[in-house]
Amino acid sequence: MKIFSKIFLSIKHFWLPIIFISAIALTISACNPANFKSASAQVPQLVSAILSDPKTFNFPLSQEFPNVFPLIYEGLITENYDTGKVEPALAESWQFSDDKLKIVFTLREGLKWSDGQPLTVDDVVFTYNDIYFNKAIPTDVRDVLRIGESGKLPSVKKIDERRVEFIVPEPFAPFLRSATGYPILPAHTLEKSVKTKDQEGKPIFLSQWGVDTPPDQIIVNGPYKLERYDTSQRVVFRRNPYYWRKGLKGESQPYIERIVWQIVESTDTALLQFRSAGLDSVGVSPDYFSLLKVQEKQGNFKIYNGGPTTSTSFVWFNLNKGKRNGKPLVNPVKSRWFNNLQFRQAIAYAIDRQTIINNTFRGLGTTQNSPISVQSPYYLSPEEGLKVYDYNLKKSKDLLLKAGFKYNDKNQLVDAEGNRVRFTLLTNAGNKIREAMGSQIKQHLSKIGIQVDFTPIAWNTFTDKISDSLDWEASLMGLTGGLEPNDGANVWNPEGGLHMFNQKPQPGQQPIEGWEVAPWEAKIGQLYIKGARELDEAKRKEIYAETQQITQENLPFIYLVNALSLSAVRNRFEGIRFSALGGAFWNIHEIKVID
């Protein structure tokens, strides 16, 4: 699951998976969660769900989304999803040097791991230098930690027992938000596995903390620790007694003793489970909104609306002109279409996004025009000059004719050589909303004479095509977002791991001959580097405004619809501060059960 792992690491919001647990991964299990609740001790608990089993309990190696790590780990800092501001976590404070090249963090006193051992500066240095910066450990964390054109990593060193210093090679404006929220890992249990090699010369760390590891051996620092994992049934978390946070009266947090994730597959049955009070929260999809809305009072729950989500959805074409083993990755005829700017703009004008909102999203969405989330201070709105592509078939057809396309006697679009314009549009199977969007896009493009072969395929097959074999023509997908644009730098850096529209081979993949970078493509990458270096906020906004203007002019991604962030949560919870950035349970440590 390379794509979602890179998405997650690019935004680095460790509470974000909880949004998806409660707001997207709708829920049910092989066993009714109410039965588990009644069979266990009656303690304050939250029952939610995920769609599949965890793949690992080893954070640096995680390539799944969502995952367990937001509940069991913390970094030096965190984000407040009410305000969008950075706040202290394991570090109680930090100080930048005058030249902004050094930042010193001071850890809280008395921090402990879940086994009662002290959490120290040595753990911080070990986590970054021995794990995240270790080339022998294949972690995507390094993609976000690389700085500037050189791609250098920060240096991390211990100052004293409570202070640790990070040094960056050049000014890096998003450093605090982007680089220091990653989980701190326990040196006293993992250091030996990093230094010890197996028969192939690889660190045995790579085989540590798999899902078969007894939960009590997973040492953590977050609000919860793993208590139990029953394959294909549930993951159970228990409150970490050594967690550092305290309430206003000095009481230990979190207040909820246990969290149960039911492992589920059917979203339809999930709705039934929530309506029968077997689950405490459920994501509200457009299909379910009307049904649940009329049952709020009777069901003793509330539907929270956080406004537009921070995610994106888009169609994009394979612009890669390269070859593997002498064979073009994309049919040269189709490659000429896809790399024609007027063709891409015509496609954008031909997609009726408002109809998609009305039909698929039942009105619970907004049109989307930018890769940067609307909540970000760097977002450029259409009112501020961002180019948009409102539905206009006449403009679409005019652009195609100007580009040399024409219509045959059957009103089918053909190119100058008479080739019928037809391509395959892929997406991941099982996502009902996305499948419905793809079907509508197929219908919309038929109105300009294009035949779209819409083909949902298995997730693993889809991600392999997008990120490895590069054997695809057009796709429909989405990415998550956040406040800091640079967290998506690996999308816009031409050599980035998520530069999907013109992907360069990643380490270990087959080489490509003739890979080209368009001038506008290179310009966006350069602006992202410039934006990360710029410390003046007004100038940063101008830089990222230019990136949005270029993306909308050249359309590497044709943005579609931004859904509303909706979740239904039982009224038995106090302290919910719902937001599109964090969902219902981003502040899990201060939420209480009141019945």
Model confidence at 578, pLDDT cuts 50, 70, 90, reads: very high
Render pLDDT for 113-165 as a digit per residue (tens, 0 to 9).
999 999 999 999 999 999 999 999 988 788 778 888 888 999 999 999 999 99
- Domains belonging to the chain, first-starting first, are 1-8+11-72+222-312+565-595 (3.40.190.10), 74-189 (3.90.76.10), 314-559 (3.10.105.10)
Render pLDDT for 301-320 as a digit per residue (tens, 0 to 9).
999 999 999 999 999 999 99
Model confidence at 432, pLDDT cuts 50, 70, 90, reads: confident
- Residue 252 confidence (pLDDT): 96
- Residue 12 confidence (pLDDT): 41
- Structure-block tokens of residue 17: 């998976």
pLDDT exceeds 90 at position 14: no
Rounded average pLDDT over 177-198: 93
Q: Report the amino acid identity of residue 432.
A: K
Render pLDDT for 495-553 as a digit per residue (tens, 0 to 9).
888 899 999 987 778 899 999 999 999 999 999 999 999 999 999 999 999 999 999 99
Render pLDDT for 218-234 as a digit per residue (tens, 0 to 9).
999 999 999 999 999 99
pLDDT exceeds 80 at position 332: yes
Most confident of 61-75, 497-511, 564-578: 564-578
**Letter string b/e over residues 64-84, b meaning 16 or more CB atoms within 10 A of that residue's CB:** bbbbbbbbbbbbbbbbebeeb
Lowest mean pLDDT among 82-86, 91-95, 139-143, 348-352: 139-143
Lowest mean pLDDT among 47-61, 81-95, 571-585: 47-61
Pairing status of strand 422-428 against strand 474-477: parallel
Q: Is 388 exposed, middle or buried (0-12, 13-18, 19+ CB in 10 A)?
A: middle
- Residue 10 confidence (pLDDT): 36
Closest CA to 438 of 564, 289, 316: 316
d(CA 221, CA 412): 61
pLDDT exceeds 60 at position 92: yes
- Is-contact 17 258, C-beta < 8 A? no
Closest CA to 268 of 285, 280, 244, 243: 285
pLDDT exceeds 90 at position 267: no
pLDDT exceeds 90 at position 19: no
Q: Is the pTM of this model over 0.85?
A: no
- Residue 22 confidence (pLDDT): 36
Higher pLDDT, 179 or 205: 205
Higher pLDDT, 31 or 76: 76
Higher pLDDT, 34 or 268: 268
Pairing status of strand 258-263 against strand 45-50: parallel
- Residue 488 confidence (pLDDT): 87
pLDDT exceeds 70 at position 7: no
Report the mean per-residue pLDDT for the chain.
90
- Residue 266 confidence (pLDDT): 67
Q: What is the DSSP letter of 393?
A: H
Number of Cα atoms under 13 Å in the Cβ half of residue 401? 10
- Residue 460 confidence (pLDDT): 81
- Is-contact 386 549, C-beta < 8 A? yes
Render pLDDT for 23-66 as a digit per residue (tens, 0 to 9).
333 333 334 444 444 444 478 999 988 777 898 999 998 867 67
Q: Is 279 exposed, middle or buried (0-12, 13-18, 19+ CB in 10 A)?
A: buried
